């Protein structure tokens, strides 16, 4: 039918994939690092000139990469706030990532609106240092002149789409991107301008939220630009996850997300209620400790890398000879224990061996993520398959234990640019709808990722016993942590 492109503007680079619209096969790729930005003159690493995103986009698209492309989808880093003045110029550099400057502003906002439960009910999330609404509060308090000049609020993918279209009067976003702002509610599908005013001190223009299969517009050259979305939603769309699927991401911290038909409101703030790129919902539960617990254990045991730690752990057996590690090394968010520390329980003479501690680290990390999965399951989210992402997903100690501890089939996709692929799939959907060949309610069916599939099999009962051992230690050490 044709070819489309997906563009992923990550925090450090831009990647572009060109895909066949029928199958999703990647035909060509482009890549460029963002230009290194100086932090002289009081600049901070989390302050980024958005022009850097355009420069790397141009470099990544070099060499005629986009020749023949009929539509482009844009994925970009979440939580990057781009404040514009009334003329469309940036008021200050974009604020990106989990900006630590905004931590005090987050607490301030939570109190100003009546607490965590009030926020969860209003917009499906509790403000943290990353959310744009919190960055607005910081700007109003720390840079009042910038706040006063701010007339329009965009995120990274909104801004890039707007630039690609030639900066039209109409500015758009999608449900996925809007749901991460802290001033749009996934449950109602509407903005909360009162929360913008609470944070910024005055109203600002917000982009129009368009449907998953709608086009944001067409370039003067006739190139269709789809709605775009955030990286998390684009990656989920690129993986092809649907009802019954969850995604567990193993970074320094961990995250668990799943597709669900409705928004989930959690009064304790453990669930962040996001929207996905298809019209469904994407509840997310995060843990502060995942691979950082493995790295800490490797340093303690004096092993050089996680591969060696995995080999060591495989010399032990399920249950780690009674050793249990609660991996709350940085405090924890799930359960909400921000000021706690990790716990090592079950020390006996026979368990005090390096391989048992190594195994306990892997089991502790996975049990912590299983706790996060259970938060979703407890709210009616079905989990039949778990997609396991991140370099640590390739480790034998992870793959041998995860299916039984998660109580589900585990899928380990081969590494690929899933956010860029998801953006391209969105472009193919919008193109098909515009041509009358696709239904706006049904995205194109693309081939799934190449993946290993791991089943719990006969190990399920063993995994349940290990989970019970972990839960018993957690409840003894932190009684009622999941009920308060």
Residue with tokens 């972990």: 470
Cβ neighbours for 51, distance < 8 A, ≥ 6 positions apart: none
What's the whole-model pTM score? 0.93
Which of the four pLDDT bands, split at 50, 70 and 90, describes residue 149? very high
Q: CA nearest 4: which of 58, 65, 56?
A: 65
Q: CA nearest 379: which of 237, 253, 270?
A: 270
In this predicted model, what pLDDT tens digit does every residue of 234-264 receive, in sequence order?
A: 999 999 999 999 999 999 999 999 999 999 9
Say what the pLDDT of residue 66 is. Answer: 96
Quote the CA–CA distance of 230 and 80 in Å, as a whole number. Answer: 10
In this predicted model, what pLDDT tens digit does every residue of 349-401 receive, in sequence order?
A: 999 999 999 999 999 999 999 999 999 999 999 999 999 999 999 999 999 99
pLDDT at 267 over 80: no
Reduce the DSSP state of residue 386 to 3 states and report it: strand
In this predicted model, what pLDDT tens digit does every residue of 197-208 receive, in sequence order?
A: 999 999 999 999
Say what the pLDDT of residue 129 is. Answer: 87
The number of CA neighbours under 13 Å toward the Cβ of 183 is 26
Reduce the DSSP state of residue 172 to 3 states and report it: strand
In this predicted model, what pLDDT tens digit does every residue of 107-133 receive, in sequence order?
A: 999 999 999 999 999 999 999 888 999
**CA-CA-CA-CA dihedral for 471, 474, 479, 481, to nearest 10:** -90
Say what the pLDDT of residue 40 is. Answer: 36
Order of strands across the sheet that contains 451-454 = 271-275, 281-287, 254-258, 244-250, 383-389, 409-413, 451-454
Which of the four pLDDT bands, split at 50, 70 and 90, describes residue 1? low
pLDDT at 329 over 80: yes
Average pLDDT over residues 286-290: 95
Q: Give one word for 64, left, alpha or beta, with left for phi > 0 and alpha for psi -120 to 50.
A: left
Quote the CA–CA distance of 334 and 431 in Å, as a whole number. Answer: 41
Q: CA nearest 387: which of 422, 414, 411?
A: 411
Helices 103-112 and 116-123 cross at an angle (nearest 10°) of: 90
Average pLDDT over residues 292-311: 98
pLDDT at 280 over 50: yes
Q: What pairing do the DSSP bridges indicate for beta strands 3-9 and 13-20?
A: antiparallel
Say what the pLDDT of residue 233 is. Answer: 96
Q: Calculate what percentage of the chain has a pLDDT beyond 90.
A: 92
In this predicted model, what pLDDT tens digit does every residue of 31-60 receive, in sequence order?
A: 999 987 644 334 445 799 999 999 999 999
Quote the CA–CA distance of 45 and 33 in Å, as a whole number. Answer: 15
Average pLDDT over residues 434-459: 95
> Strand pairing partners for 433?
none
Helices 193-200 and 103-112 cross at an angle (nearest 10°) of: 130
Average pLDDT over residues 99-105: 86
pLDDT at 13 over 80: yes
Say what the pLDDT of residue 42 is. Answer: 42
Residue with tokens 């989210």: 381
Residue with tokens 């051992």: 469
pLDDT at 484 over 80: no
Residue with tokens 């193919």: 428
Q: Give one word for 68, left, alpha or beta, with left for phi > 0 and alpha for psi -120 to 50.
A: left
Quote the CA–CA distance of 427 and 6 in Å, as a whole number. Answer: 7
Q: Are 134 and 140 in contact (CB under 8 A)?
A: no
3-state secondary structure 317-334: CCCHHHCEEECCECEECC
Which of the four pLDDT bands, split at 50, 70 and 90, describes residue 214? very high
| Mean residue pLDDT across the chain | 95
Which of the four pLDDT bands, split at 50, 70 and 90, describes residue 98? confident
Q: Calculate what percentage of the chain has a pLDDT beyond 70.
A: 98
Say what the pLDDT of residue 407 is. Answer: 97
Token pair of 390 as six digits: 């991140």
């Amino acid at each position: 039918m044709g070819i489309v492109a997906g563009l992923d503007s990550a925090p450090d680079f831009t990647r572009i994939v060109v895909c066949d619209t029928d199958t999703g096969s990647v035909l060509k790729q482009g890549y460029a690092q963002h230009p290194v930005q100086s932090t002289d003159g009081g600049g901070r690493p989390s302050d980024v000139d958005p022009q850097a995103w355009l420069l790397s986009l141009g470099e990544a698209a070099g060499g005629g990469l986009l020749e023949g492309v009929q539509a482009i989808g844009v994925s970009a880093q979440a939580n990057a706030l781009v404040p514009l003045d009334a003329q469309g110029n940036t008021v200050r550099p974009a604020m990106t990532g989990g900006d630590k400057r905004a931590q005090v502003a987050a607490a301030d906002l939570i109190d100003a609106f009546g607490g965590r439960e009030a926020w969860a009910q209003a917009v499906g999330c509790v403000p943290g240092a990353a959310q744009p609404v919190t960055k607005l509060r910081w700007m109003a308090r720390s840079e009042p002149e910038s706040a006063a000049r701010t007339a329009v609020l965009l995120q990274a993918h909104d801004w890039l789409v707007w630039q690609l279209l030639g900066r039209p009067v109409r500015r758009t976003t999608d449900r996925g991107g809007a749901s991460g702002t802290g001033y749009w509610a996934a449950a109602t599908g509407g903005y909360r301008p009162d929360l913008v005013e609470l944070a910024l001190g005055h109203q600002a223009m917000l982009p129009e939220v368009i449907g998953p299969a709608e086009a944001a517009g067409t370039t003067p050259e006739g190139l269709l630009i789809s709605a775009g979305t955030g990286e998390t939603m684009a990656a989920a769309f690129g993986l092809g996850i649907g009802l019954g699927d969850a995604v567990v991401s193993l970074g320094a911290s961990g995250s668990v997300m799943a597709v669900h038909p409705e928004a989930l409101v959690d009064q304790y703030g453990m669930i962040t209620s996001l929207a996905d790129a298809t019209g469904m919902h994407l509840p997310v539960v995060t843990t502060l400790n995942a691979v950082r617990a493995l790295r800490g254990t490797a340093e303690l045991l004096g092993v050089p890398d996680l591969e060696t730690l995995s080999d060591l752990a495989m010399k032990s057996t399920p249950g780690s000879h009674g050793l249990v590690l609660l991996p709350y090394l940085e405090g924890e968010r799930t359960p909400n224990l921000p000021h706690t520390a990790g716990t090592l329980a079950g020390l006996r003479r026979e368990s005090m061996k390096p391989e048992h501690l190594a195994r306990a680290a892997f089991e502790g990390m996975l049990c912590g993520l299983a706790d996060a999965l259970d938060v979703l399951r407890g709210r009616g989210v079905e989990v039949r398959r778990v997609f396991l992402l991140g370099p640590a997903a390739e480790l034998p100690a992870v793959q041998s234990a995860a299916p039984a501890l998660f109580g589900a089939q585990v899928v380990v996709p081969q590494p690929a640019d899933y956010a860029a692929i998801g953006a391209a799939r969105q472009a193919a959907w919008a193109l098909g709808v515009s041509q009358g060949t696709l239904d706006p309610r049904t995205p194109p069916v693309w081939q799934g990722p190449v993946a290993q599939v791991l089943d719990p099999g006969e190990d399920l009962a063993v995994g349940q016993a290990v989970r019970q051992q972990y839960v018993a230690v957690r409840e003894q050490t932190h009684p009622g942590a999941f009920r308060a």
